[in-house]
Chain A
Amino acid sequence: MSYTAEMRESIKKVEATRPRRMEETHRRLTLEEQQDLLRRFHPDYLREGMRELRVGPNAGDRTPNEFADLLEARSRVDPRTFDLSRVDYDTDVLVIGGGGAGASAALLAQEQGVRVLLATKLRFGDANTMMAQGGIQAADRPEDSPAIHYLDVIGGGHFTNIPELVEALVMDAPEVIRWLESLGCMFDKLPDGTMVEAHGGGTSRKRMHSARDYTGAEIMRTLRDEVRSRPDIQVLEFAPAIELVLDDKGQAAGAILMNLETGDRLLVRAKTVVLATGGSGRLHYQGFPTTNHYGATGDGVVIAYRAGARLAFMDTMQYHPTGAAYPEQILGLLVTEKVRGLGAQVVNVDGEQFVYPLETRDVEAAAFIRECKERGKGVITPTGQPGVWLDSPMIEWLKGPGTVEKALPAMVRQFKRFGIDIAKEPMLVYPTLHYQNGGVLLQTDGSTTVPNLFAAGEISGGVHGRNRLMGNSLLEITVFGRRAGRAAALKAKEVKPGRLTLEHVLAWERQLAEAGLNPQIVSPLLLPEYTRHVR
């Protein structure tokens, strides 16, 4: 594959300027310049990219058009004809979503001695959790403390986070690391048992725990294996939830699932429900590619909203500055921040720097977009995708030959498959949709504004405020997955279930009509549409 002739021309310029650039450091932006850049180029600030919701508990709040369309769509279920008297599965706690948050919730719920059913869209573990490479934060070194962690989280979130949620996050963190270890997770350690911990963007102490390049995978496969070891937890794969079911007291009381292979509907009756369906990168806001897994389509947020749950921070998404822009096959996949951390500069088509490489993620991403969109200094690939160069060969000059291979094995493997040697040639990168900062509003026990409905993980909003720091998401899914699972089980023991109803779906239809909306699409989306049909 490797690079095209035009791209090679640009690479020659990158090589020509490299010796000079070795001596240069691009100046950092002032706070004012950062704000200006964000306002003009960050996708969150693009007015055309967002609109106000017209119905539901968050009417008047802004969210990306693609999400708004799904939030204001029709149900996949006809509430008039769906037979609620035929129950396919009866359980105490229904967990929806088989990622890290869902698995944690299922385990803690089961430990309270209740029956648990976990339903997920694809295979158990086909989830964003599986893809996290970097690490998980926890303040467990003597030079660190939960209070310092708290400050980092809340500053990273631009002081908008909900304080009680942050407190829960940082105070539970060491316990969560111990819990994961007790289940068999292998964290990176020195021979004497000291955890190997690193900095991440926005941390003031080294507290990033890792499991080689596969931290999320190690956590996910361990949790999954533990769930499979417990006979009291039943797992249903390829069975996404398409609607919540309430009872006549307005409490969450189950869900309607769809057998993804046959299209048949399944009714689950439950005493409490935990939503853990993750993020929404596959909605490709403003046409951005994404780092997320195939099933990240925001389903849980949509069905929770229809059931009356309040959402928070729905107008902020995280774009990672360095997504792969070439080759097409890996478009949008994550190029780890570590590449810049090791000294690689970011340069334009002429081989010139235009931004300090380690600005915060949002500022860095906005600078890339400005370089390509406003200044026309991006490199254009054969598919029309713009990008800028991440000058990885510099690392070999700065840190010695062989460093790239040693420090970035996963990246080397990823690009080598397509004939690109990142130790010798730069990588073309462009911002990619990475993380849903907001979602279903939570209390510290994972409860939502709908009785008996709990939520945890990337689906939720409030913990990270307007911006999440790396390593706090794997932490969030375990901390709040555990809290939500435990609280849902305790609640399940005492609820007096009422009669099942889909009245909220009928009410939703009325609200849409009153707002003058007549949506033609149904939601949740379930899977992105990538299939090409000739006719």
Chain B
Amino acid sequence: MTGTGSLVRLILRRDRLVLPLWVLLLAVLPITQTAGIAELYPTERGLREFAASFGANPALVAMYGPFTHWNAAALGVWRAGFTPVLLGLACLLTVVRHTRVEEETGRRELLGSTVLGRQAGLSAALAVAASANLAVALVVLASFAGPGYPVAGALATGLGYAATGMVFAAVGAVAAQLTESAGGARAIGLSALGVAYLVRMAGDSTGASWLSWLSPFGWSQRMRPFAGEVWWPLALSLAAVALLSLAAYALAGRRDLAAGVLPPRLGPADAVPGFGSPLALAWRLHRGPLLGWSAGFAVFGAVVGAAAKAAADTMAGNARLMEMMARLGGSANVADVFVASVMSIFGMGAAGYAVQAALRMRGEETLMRAEPLLAAPVGRARWMAGHLVFALLGPAVVMLVLGVAVGIAYGASTGDVAGRLPGVAGAAVSQLPAVWSLAGLAVALFGLLPRLTALAWAALALFLLLGQVGALLDLPPAALDLSPFSHLPKLPGGEVAATPLLVLTAIAAALVATGLYGFRRRDVG
């Protein structure tokens, strides 16, 4: 354990911007939702009505979890039901970043030869994750207790979040021991996260509610914040954290530095015939994430598509809800509105993938892997083009997969696949101009301000926040207009407006061109 303290300081220094950013952003989501709802529905009657229609919507229950109580705080926490997923994701990635990535790049070796204990890296990453989760809990507590909401509910919300975050931090710690590559560890951790979410989704939207007890997301939801708190599910989370951490330490103690538990496989002695261009290399580097995102979107798309019809049936006839949804979604057809709002969430996800794929270039550069190619007869633009294919077309593939999955599942439930599929697939594809603008931003930063590429993530986080709470908060239009996603037509159901799509695509193209221009004129390394 020696040296854990100094490693913690190192991690905090390296993450001094990113860490407070996600802690704060995620922690204020439930109070933002609550405040928005309380403002829209100042009376008990209004809240009850809102709750009755929303809480009975199986699609929303599938996405956010079971509905507990009609009061504004309970509704707000429920509507912020995606927060634990994002928090789990952030914790998982943080732990992998400060354990396996450090080992993979050899930096840990450098530090490991000083007076660090064997497990110091793992302990430091977990300690940082624990502090971040504690901070989330405290901010949630303060944000609800401040305006006078019940402290018990605030505490249950905050502790529930922190517990879920810690479970996935520990999942990340285990995943980081298994594979040699950080990418592999992330894939294992993300799969675990996806499975946990899907299991809870299945449990809450079908009769088999016991399934939700198998998922960490289910545990914190069953603490029922603001609806007669139940505390003991917290013990389940803590037990899981303890078990997973023990497993991570045991695995870490038995393997060598930089090695994984799963043995590395040997590769071919000669490359296959076509493997001789920057594009071929880019395919090898990007195919894993592309397949992963496609598979994830296909699964989630099918679940969402299957739930859309049920959502429409339950809500049909509730005039007030229809009006409310129309305001959010732009159409009076409930199922369309539901699909449209889901599309924009997935659009943000695809933008995350696009930014990740674009910034792979920066990763290759800082890890000195761009150099051997650029020292061969490969021009800068040609090298970039290989990665750009995946940063731009990868999200297109992923969104198309999503559209087809939603369309088929939705169409199957209404018995009209041929009728539903084109509209839904079109709706998915219409997200692309906004997705591309973010990819373009990342490329432009890479070309002009390579040290500030993290700003692309900050922009995405901002747009995500605007999209989640902007409509409820009555923010000035100029603020909402910042996000490219706010300019997209609300599809399916809304009008297809070509102008914003074309303008966004043109902006994206200009940003990509700027990035190419910048990179051809700057130093590499």
The answer to whether A binds B is no
A binding-site residues for B, Cβ under 8 Å: none
